[in-house]
């Protein structure tokens, strides 16, 4: 067989965003040999894009907060599709994980008495998001990176995993190429942690970077792990809509947390008109109360702009469809108006939302301290992912773990803002800890050379074909079709059409060709990413067809209401022995008595 460079680690972590770095740090602290594979340069992962903050019930700003409230908020936001044990662990452990970041050098904004400041965010009852202006994700990744580089972790930057290797039923390692030279590498590992993030590049309008091609979802699926909740794709309500080249770039929810309001073209704050029943008791019914809430009045209820993302996104869609949108197909998000209320409003906006100020100034020529922004929904986050054990984060393939966005369970049908950064550190740590334990408890697996050779052969095929399919063209067509046929508003006929499109694109992807050589060739990488994008697109569409109701981020025009029976199951995707994609249903995991009682109390 061909000779490939071979590297051996106890734990191989795939992905170097918040979850991957945190997992690598934890595994390394347990004393095992850790490798960290990063698709880009270290410190560039999508975590840097997270703006608003990290949710943790520190109760620094409002002492009524606590893990129970955070748990109940997360479950309510997720429409009770969440794994309750994951939501519990997350709410209990997030405060310690945030404090740990401070011990490693993170510099959060402060309260007047010198503690970590927390801000309001959609769906969180109390101010809960520890933050650094609107660049919290950068602070988190830099802190983890700068801490991690001193721990002896082997970092493999600009490497992409092409396939996972197995020894019988268990994981044995991974097969990769390095971008710089285009060489293949075989990673031997007793345990593999997937921390690859999301799937946003399956859609045309997205806040996600090129890396977000569903690699972990797809790798796990093809290795025999089950995926869960794939129908729940979060469309963030506020992405930029103009100019066209920036369409989809995120506008942080923090704008609304600081008092920003949504208006239609007639100047009306349309969110007041549609407040869901289960949020009515905790939502302001007039503008004055909403404003007081954003300014920290503990007796005020939150403005409807801070309802959950799924709901706000749909309200914006409604305004646009009914002809009340802004000129470029969005609605107005106005933070400039707070100058009427705050003496030094302009400075306040620049200080609390510096990235947003620069983003609009530089990319759209808009001064957000003076004029409203135009915003509309953008594909933002995948709630679904690898089906994992809530305590250990292990998938149903022994030795294969997943954490962060590519794992399912914590967020259910809709994620609350701020709960992803906390997800990364809570479950990144758990995955690293348990992957290390697994590595210590198990002997080294055997690498099957035929698997390695098959992956190498497949990966090189695009260079050898005499066809002429452009991989970029296939990717763009998939993005267009997923946006139109399996996007925010879904119906059966369109999703069936999407499945046909995906089958057709699979055939074309098998003919994708690449020019040039193997060194740093993005055409080749695009061709290799296609399989992942097509796999997750099919999984999203099949799961969305199966769920015959509207719940959280999943909205069906043909089943516009919630259905109590559908609410009792999670949709599971698996690869059958014959290679086809199977869809099944599993009961939502039951809640312990204690958790049930919390939900009752917090209703």
Partner 1 sequence: MSTQVTFRIWRGEKGAGQLRDYTTEISSGMVVLDAVHRIQATQANDLACRWNCKAGKCGSCSAEVNGKPRLMCMTRMSDLPADKPITIEPLRAFPHLRDLVTDVSWNYDVKKKIRKYQPRKPDNPDGTWSMEQDDIDRVQEFRKCIECYLCQDVCHVLREHGLHPDFIGPRFLVYSAALEMHPADTADRLPDLKNDLGIGYCNITKCCTKVCPESIAITDNAIIPLKERVVDRYYDPIKRIFRAITGSGGD
Which residues have a catalytic role annotated? 236, 256
Report the distance separating Cα 539 and Cα 98, nearest Å.
34
Closest CB to partner 1 among residues 86, 98: 98
Task: Outline where 170-306 has alpha helix (H).
Answer: 215-222, 254-257, 287-294
The secondary structure of 318-332, three-state, reads HHHHCCCCCCCCCEE
Question: Which tokens is 320 given?
Answer: 């646009």
Of 363 and 499, nearer to partner 1 (C-beta) is 363
Q: Cβ 48 to partner 1, closest distance in Å?
A: 5
Minimum CB separation of residue 38 from partner 1 in Å reads: 11
Token pair of 408, please? 């399912």
Residue whose CB is less far from partner 1, 104 or 480? 104
The Cα 553–Cα 130 span in angstroms is 25
Which residue number, 40 or 160, has a Cβ lying nearer to partner 1? Answer: 40
Judged by the rule CB under 8 A, the positions of this chain that interact with partner 1 are 40-46, 48-49, 99, 102-105, 107, 109-110, 113-116, 132-133, 135, 138-139, 142, 146-147, 149-150, 157, 180, 209-211, 242-246, 249-250, 354-355, 358-359, 362-364, 470-473, 476, 514-517, 519-524, 526
Residue among 245 and 450 whose Cβ is closer to partner 1: 245
Shortest Å distance, C-beta 496 to partner 1: 29
Q: Classify the C-alpha dihedral 429-74-487-573 as positive or negative.
A: positive
Residue 399: CB minimum distance to partner 1, A: 29
Please state the closest distance from residue 23 (CB atom) to partner 1, in A.
Answer: 20
Burial of 103 per CB tally in 10 Å (0-12, 13-18, 19+): exposed
Handedness of CA 220, 225, 231, 233 (dihedral sign): negative
The 10 Å Cβ neighbour count of residue 38 is 23
Minimum gap (Å) between residue 237 Cβ and partner 1: 17
Rounded Cα gap, residues 115 and 110, in angstroms: 5
Per DSSP bridges, beta strands 184-194 and 400-402 are parallel
Element containing residue 429 per DSSP (H, E) = helix 419-441
Classify residue 404 as left (phi > 0), alpha (psi -120 to 50) or beta: left
Q: Which residue number, 203 or 242, has a Cβ lying nearer to partner 1?
A: 242
Residue with smaller CB distance to partner 1, 96 or 288 = 96
| Length of the chain as a residue count | 603
CA atoms within 13 A on the CB side of 513: 7
The minimum distance between CB 99 and partner 1, in angstroms, equals 5
Which of 586, 496, 508, 578 has its CA nearest to residue 542? 496
| Shortest Å distance, C-beta 515 to partner 1 | 6
Of the candidates 256, 214, 255, 210, which has an alpha carbon nearest to the alpha carbon of residue 233? 214
CA atoms within 13 A on the CB side of 523: 16
State which residue, 246 or 602, has the beta carbon closest to partner 1.
246
Which token pair is 465? 């074909």
What sign for the dihedral angle of Cα 223, 571, 50, 97?
A: negative
Tell me how far, at minimum, the Cβ of 520 lies from partner 1, in Å: 4
CB atoms within 10 A of CB 579: 7
Which secondary structure element, helix H or strand E, spans residue 228, and what is its range?
strand 227-228
Write out the two tokens for 152: 């002896």
């Amino acid at each position: 067989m061909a000779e490939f460079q071979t590297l051996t680690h106890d734990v191989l972590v795939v992905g170097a965003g918040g979850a991957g770095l945190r997992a690598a740090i934890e595994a390394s602290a347990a004393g095992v040999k850790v490798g960290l594979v990063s698709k880009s340069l270290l410190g560039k992962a999508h975590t840097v894009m997270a703006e608003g903050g990290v949710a943790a019930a520190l109760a620094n700003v409002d002492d009524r907060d606590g893990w129970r409230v955070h748990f109940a908020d997360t479950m309510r936001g997720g429409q009770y599709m969440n794994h309750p044990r994951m939501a519990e662990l997350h709410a209990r452990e997030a405060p310690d994980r945030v404090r740990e970041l401070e011990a490693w050098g993170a510099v959060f904004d402060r309260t007047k008495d010198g503690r970590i400041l927390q801000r309001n965010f959609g769906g969180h009852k109390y101010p809960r998001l520890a933050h650094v202006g609107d660049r919290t994700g950068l602070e988190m990744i830099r802190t983890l990176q700068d801490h991690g580089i001193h721990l002896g972790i082997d970092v493999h930057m600009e490497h992409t995993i092409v396939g996972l290797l197995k020894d019988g039923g268990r994981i044995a390692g991974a097969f990769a190429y390095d971008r710089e030279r285009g060489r293949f590498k075989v990673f031997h590992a007793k345990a593999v942690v997937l921390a690859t993030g999301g799937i946003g590049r399956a859609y045309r309008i997205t806040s996600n970077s090129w890396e977000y091609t569903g690699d972990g979802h797809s790798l796990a699926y093809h290795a025999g792990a089950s995926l869960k909740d794939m129908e729940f794709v979060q469309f963030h309500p506020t992405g930029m809509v103009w100019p066209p080249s920036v369409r989809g770039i995120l506008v942080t929810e923090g704008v609304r947390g600081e008092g920003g309001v949504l208006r239609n073209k007639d100047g009306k704050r349309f969110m007041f008109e549609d407040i869901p029943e289960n949020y009515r008791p905790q939502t302001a019914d007039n503008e004055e109360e909403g404003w007081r809430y954003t300014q920290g009045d503990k007796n005020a209820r939150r403005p409807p702009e801070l309802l959950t993302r799924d709901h706000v996104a749909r309200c914006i869609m409604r305004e646009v469809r009914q002809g009340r949108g802004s000129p470029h197909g969005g609605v107005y998000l106005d933070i400039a108006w707070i100058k009427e209320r705050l003496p030094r409003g302009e400075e306040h906006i620049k200080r609390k939302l510096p990235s947003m100020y620069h983003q609009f100034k530089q990319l759209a020529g808009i001064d957000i301290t003076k004029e409203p922004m135009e915003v509309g929904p953008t594909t933002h986050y995948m709630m679904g992912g690898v089906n994992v054990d809530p305590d250990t984060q292990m998938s149903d393939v022994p030795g294969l773990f997943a954490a962060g966005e590519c794992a399912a369970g914590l967020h259910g049908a809709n994620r609350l803002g701020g709960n992803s950064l906390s997800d990364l550190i809570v479950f990144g740590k758990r995955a690293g800890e348990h992957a290390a334990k697994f590595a210590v408890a198990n002997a080294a697996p055997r690498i099957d050379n035929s698997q390695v050779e098959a992956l190498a052969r497949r990966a090189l095929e695009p260079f050898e074909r005499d066809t002429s399919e452009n991989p970029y063209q296939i990717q763009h067509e998939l993005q267009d079709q997923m946006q139109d046929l399996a996007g925010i508003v879904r119906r059966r006929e369109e999703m069936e059409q999407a499945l046909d499109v995906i089958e057709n694109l699979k055939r074309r992807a098998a003919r994708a060709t690449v020019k040039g050589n193997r060194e740093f060739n993005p055409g080749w990488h695009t061709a290799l990413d296609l399989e992942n994008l097509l796999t997750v697109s099919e999984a999203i569409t099949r799961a969305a067809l199966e769920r015959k109701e509207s719940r959280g981020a999943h909205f069906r025009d043909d089943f516009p209401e919630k259905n109590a029976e559908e609410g009792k199951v999670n949709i599971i995707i698996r690869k059958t022995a014959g290679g086809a994609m199977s869809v099944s249903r599993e009961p939502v995991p039951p809640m312990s008595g204690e958790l049930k009682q919390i939900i009752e109390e917090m209703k």
